Structure 1
Amino acid sequence: MRNLILSLIPVMALFSLTGCQKETTSHNEEVVPALLQQKAFNSNLAYELVESLTVEVGPRLAGSEKDPIAVEWAIKQLTSLNFDRVYKEPVQVPVWQRGDAKASITSPYPQPLVITALGGSIGTPPDGIIASIARFDSLGSLEKATPEEVSGKIVFIDQLTERHKTSKGYVKSAAARLHGASVAAHKGALAVINRTVGTSQNRIAQTGMVKYQDGINKIPAVAISSPDAELINAMLRRSNDVKIKLHLSSKSMGFTTSFNVIAEVTGSNKPEEIVLISAHLDSWDEGTGASDDGAGIAIVTAAAKLIQDLPTKPARTVRVVLYAAEEVGYFGARAYAKEHQAELDKHYIAAESDFGAAPVYQIDFGINNANFAEVIQLVQPMTGNGIALGNNSSTGGPDVSFLHKKGVPVASLRQDGTDYFDYHHSPNDTLDKIDPEALQQNVAAYAQFAYLMAQSEFDLRPITAD
């Protein structure tokens, strides 16, 4: 039934042009987006790409031995899709080895715990650390603690991650993961254990970066599964002195060279102006990086391929950027913004897919407010793909935000993240979590967005917001 309905879209679009459509809407602005949507739902390219990446490369932590394999995979795939230009740009990325991570309660009730090292964490001494727990229910409560409550102990930050359609629950709890180690160390803690920043109740620990503050002693930092966090809480209700033994062999080993990988669909008459759609090539090493961000890579690549194959190319160049080392500190995004500083004024708009493969439900912008209403009218065809027209307060995704800060207009194609943090940064980030039809809907959304922006005649600068 879906294919039958989609097959009628171009006809319906053509019919609408004979009715009450505004005169400012061109034939192509209506018909081509409908055709792109139809082709996206009839194509399995995106799923084939993410399957290939997760099977043939798998986890690809920046700076690891899988990093150059992922780069070569990307070059090979983009070249095989016959983009007008495929190239790579070097990026210096950190090298960090996870090593072994073990923890157990030694008293009052000895039991093993499920943990994972946080990215960038230092290791423990060879014999590990044994100390009593000091529990805090949030980063804020830890910040208010006295040194006497913390010194010589292992801090346990038991901050829950709320489930939301957006990422606001994650953003709130991720602060504890990022900054908890330095706050605890400043008060004399020996190590920090964070309740996993995620919504899964499975006995898995979800990794992510720890950010050490300059001038403060670094201490080991780990995440613990939610069931194990509850186990500790149950023990603390029985005893005010719960001891844990922690052993980590994580270590940092300097820097190495990785690459941003880039492909382009050359614009027909404004080739120097760029519509950028992006994702990040690296992943954490716990799962296979299917949703974070294999899905994003597949979405923007397949979307650009649909535009590449159009009989007539759009006016502006559509550039696909697969960033290096997003997970460990946005190194690829920073390098791209620096490398392309001289042409950032030619970046018409940028967007990023880095939130899994659930359906896009809304598009928001971060552009010149004077033309926001006209741009919203321009992307009206996207509503046929189930996408609501949103606001003008977007700052773009994590990588794209570095361009936005330098004045580049951005858009956010909002995906439903209700279940995303069940497997984010975890061993459960695997291919089976991706719905092929939802992936197709994303491809249609990005293809429509990129095409319409590549054809737009509106001035998106200077950036203003609601």
Structure 2
Amino acid sequence: MRRLPLTVLAASLILAVGNASAATQTTIPAAAVKAAEQLRDKAMNDNTSYQIVESLTTEVGPRLAGSPADQRGREWAIAKFKALGFDKVYTEQVSYPLWERRSEHAEIVAPFPQPLALIALGYSSGTPKGGLTAEVVRFDSLDALNKADPASVKGKIVYVDARMERHKDGQDYAIGSAIRVGGPVIASKMGAAAFLLRSAGTDAHSRTPHTGVTGFKDPKEAIPAAALSNPDADQLTRVLAFGKPVSIKLDLDCGITGTYTGANVIGEFTGKKHPEQIVAIGGHLDSWDPGTGAIDDGAGVAIAMAAAKLIGDMPQRPDRTIRVIAFANEEMGLWGGKAYAEKHGADVAKFQLGTESDFGARKVWRMSASVKPEARGAIEQMAQVLAPIGVAYDAKMAGGGGSDLSQMHAKGMAALSLTQDGTDYFDFHHTANDTLDKIDPKELAQNVAVYAAFSYMAAQANGDFGSAAGAFANDAAED
């Protein structure tokens, strides 16, 4: 064999290494990019998603987990998947504590008697028959409650008075939800009789309180817990400012009454080349009971269903399976997402990419991703397709996968975050005002365009996005 000169041999080795490196990069074929652009443009003028959420909120309405409407919601989802032409429709059981709300009432009895608008929180216990009356002690933050002398709280109604402000990314919900979830637990451990908070919401003028879940894990440790509307919280704060003892009578009829078995409802368009590989999208099917669950999260279910249908209507099925999951009972502890991750976590490497829509129906304005380094180029390709409809790519921010699919991401699923404009989302979130009129059909369609385009490109990619057990354990460091 003739020996190559050293310089030629070195050049050959460099070229070989370069080719090998290029071969490991995940890319989106040009034909798939073009098809995704066509999907994007078609979705922007398609009203399927609005028809879906209109159907859900009208025919089923509020869908409190474990209520009679929970079953109706599942039946609706199964029928809707079939009507939309999904190849495969099935359910997977999800069990969780059954919490029921029956009634709630509160009033200031001294020094200035008057009623208060409030709503019980998930996993709250009920008050004794006839209600309870106790003095109120106010704290301006969760930290202040944590630092309080338990003797100052024992036997009293704890009131945490912290106001959320509007932000495009909804960042203040981290404050509001922490108080709602953690505050009742802290108050219970200190011996409080009950817990109240200023609603975790940004509407300043509506006497519409915001419900939501508490952090109680054991019903024996639960105390009555409720949220005041913002104007009623303002009023209570003004009354307390007089410096006189303030007493409230609280009467909540609610609590855990057993265990309920519901289900995640799943629809698929089966991949023609790699049917076992999954692009996962979805929303949660349950809602709180005051409103009709339009923005939280009928919109998310509708966005995912409509995006998948657009892909399913193409002349050929995508290379990989598009799976839409309508999750059970997200609202009271991610029960559907946790059950899904427990069942499918061992197969996380089969999940190409995933994310869930659960932040309303305003336009998507930001995309971030948690993928392997070799797939960043493919994410850039997605970003270029989505940029014309107002989506900016933040390459430094991690992608969490949304609420329920965060559980699969924690197992190692490559994930996106597609952030909607949440400026007014917390005006309506978990309230009686979460109704269909809050959804703009054109803005909803933009969401579908985003989900359809990215899902199709992920399904057609040459290569994967890095899903593997424990793959994204350090995501927190990327934020």
**Which category of TM-score, normalised to the shorter sequence, fits these structures?**
over 0.9
**2:263 aligns to what?**
259
The answer to whether structure 1 residue 162 and structure 2 residue 165 are counterparts is yes
Report how far residue 255 of structure 1 moved: 1.1
RMSD over aligned CA atoms reads 1.5
SS at match of 1:100: strand
The answer to whether structure 1 residue 63 and structure 2 residue 66 are counterparts is yes
Give the whole-Å Cα distance in 2 for the aligned partners of 1:215 and 1:291: 30
Give the whole-Å Cα distance in 2 for the aligned partners of 1:316 and 1:217: 47
Instruction: Tell me which amino acid in the other structure corresponds to 2:267.
Output: A
Instruction: Tell me which amino acid in the other structure corresponds to 2:334.
Output: Y
**1:430 aligns to what?**
435
The structure with more radius of gyration:
2
* Change in CA separation of 1:25 and 1:105 when aligned onto 2, cut-off 3 Å: closer
SS at match of 2:172: helix
**1:416 aligns to what?**
421
The answer to whether structure 1 residue 237 and structure 2 residue 233 are counterparts is no
Moved more, 443-452 or 209-218: 209-218
Give the whole-Å Cα distance in 2 for the aligned partners of 1:164 and 1:294: 22
Instruction: Tell me which amino acid in the other structure corresponds to 2:253.
Output: S
Give the whole-Å Cα distance in 2 for the aligned partners of 1:116 and 1:381: 44
TM, length-normalised to structure 2: 0.90
Give the whole-Å Cα distance in 2 for the aligned partners of 1:436 and 1:322: 21
SS at match of 1:35: helix
* Change in CA separation of 1:25 and 1:223 when aligned onto 2, cut-off 3 Å: closer
Moved more, 116-125 or 232-241: 232-241
**1:40 aligns to what?**
43
Q: Answer whether contact 1:366 1:409 (CA < 8 A) is retained.
A: yes
Q: Answer whether contact 1:113 1:228 (CA < 8 A) is retained.
A: yes
The answer to whether structure 1 residue 401 and structure 2 residue 406 are counterparts is yes
Name which of 435, 447, 453 aligns with 1:448. 453
Give the whole-Å Cα distance in 1 for the aligned partners of 2:368 and 2:180: 28
SS at match of 2:411: coil
Instruction: Tell me which amino acid in the other structure corresponds to 2:403.
Output: P
Report how far residue 38 of structure 1 moved: 2.1
Instruction: Tell me which amino acid in the other structure corresponds to 1:67.
Output: D
Report how far residue 351 of structure 1 moved: 0.5
The answer to whether structure 1 residue 128 and structure 2 residue 169 are counterparts is no
Instruction: Tell me which amino acid in the other structure corresponds to 2:394.
Output: G
Give the whole-Å Cα distance in 2 for the aligned partners of 1:25 and 1:422: 39
Instruction: Tell me which amino acid in the other structure corresponds to 1:388.
Output: A
Report how far residue 215 of structure 1 moved: 9.9
Name which of 341, 346, 351 aligns with 2:355. 351
Report how far residue 378 of structure 1 moved: 4.2
Q: Please list every run of 5 or more consecutive structure 2 residues that lacks an aligned counterpart in the other structure.
A: 1-26
Name which of 181, 186, 190 aligns with 2:189. 186
* Change in CA separation of 1:213 and 1:50 when aligned onto 2, cut-off 3 Å: closer
Instruction: Tell me which amino acid in the other structure corresponds to 1:36.
Output: L
Instruction: Tell me which amino acid in the other structure corresponds to 1:78.
Output: F
Q: Answer whether contact 1:37 1:448 (CA < 8 A) is retained.
A: yes
The answer to whether structure 1 residue 172 and structure 2 residue 175 are counterparts is yes
**2:11 aligns to what?**
none
CA displacement, residues 292-311 of structure 1 (integer Å, 9 cap, x when unaligned)? 00000110000000000011
SS at match of 2:208: coil
CA displacement, residues 272-311 of structure 1 (integer Å, 9 cap, x when unaligned)? 1000001000000010000000000110000000000011
* Change in CA separation of 1:152 and 1:411 when aligned onto 2, cut-off 3 Å: same
Identity between Structure 1 and Structure 2 (%): 46
Give the whole-Å Cα distance in 2 for the aligned partners of 1:170 and 1:378: 29
SS at match of 2:403: coil
* Change in CA separation of 1:214 and 1:369 when aligned onto 2, cut-off 3 Å: farther
SS at match of 1:106: strand
TM, length-normalised to structure 1: 0.92
Give the whole-Å Cα distance in 2 for the aligned partners of 1:384 and 1:94: 45
CA displacement, residues 138-174 of structure 1 (integer Å, 9 cap, x when unaligned)? 1110001102221121011101112111132001221
Q: Answer whether contact 2:280 2:323 (CA < 8 A) is retained.
A: yes
Instruction: Tell me which amino acid in the other structure corresponds to 1:133.
Output: V
Q: Please list every run of 5 or more consecutive structure 1 residues that lacks an aligned counterpart in the other structure.
A: 1-23
Report how many aligned residue pairs link the two structures. 443
Instruction: Tell me which amino acid in the other structure corresponds to 1:30.
Output: V
